[in-house]
């Protein structure tokens, strides 16, 4: 009678303790997984960031080289235009001289 009930109460109490402990462990595990996946995400994000920065730097270098090339081309164009203008003026002067002579 009485002793049996006591044993059962004891068993139920232990069972409850075990249940609570299991829930705590599950929560702990879930929390660790979240932290784990977060650090994994951060690591991956960091990787993407570094990759992105590297690509951006490369693009910037390419842009700079392109700008330098563009400037060189423009300088060359200016030089050629100046030369052309000088030649035209020279030709005009020559034509005038030819007309005058």
Instruction: Locate the domains of the chain by residue range.
Output: 1-75
Torsion of CA 38, 39, 42, 47, to 10 degrees: -140
**Of the candidates 80, 79, 11, which has an alpha carbon nearest to the alpha carbon of residue 3?**
11
82 DSSP assignment: H
CA distances from 23 to 8, 16, 32, 95 (A): 22, 11, 14, 103
DSSP helix, strand, coil percent of the chain (3-state; round to 5): 100, 0, 0
**Any idea what the Cα angle at residue 40 is, between residues 35 and 42, rounded to 5°?**
95
Q: Would you mind telling me the total number of residues written for the chain in this entry?
A: 101
pLDDT in tens, the chain (101 residues): 556 678 889 989 988 998 888 888 889 888 888 777 777 778 888 888 888 888 888 888 888 888 898 899 889 888 888 988 988 898 899 888 888 87
């Amino acid at each position: 009678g009485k002793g049996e009930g006591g044993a059962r109460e004891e068993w139920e109490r232990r069972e409850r303790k075990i249940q609570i402990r299991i829930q705590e462990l599950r929560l702990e595990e879930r929390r660790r997984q979240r932290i784990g996946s977060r650090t994994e995400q951060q690591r991956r994000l960091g990787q993407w960031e570094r990759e992105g920065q590297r690509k951006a730097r490369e693009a910037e270098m390419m842009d700079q080289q392109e700008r330098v090339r563009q400037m060189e081309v423009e300088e060359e164009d200016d030089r050629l235009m100046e030369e052309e203008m000088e030649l035209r003026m020279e030709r005009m002067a020559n034509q005038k001289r030819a007309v005058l002579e």
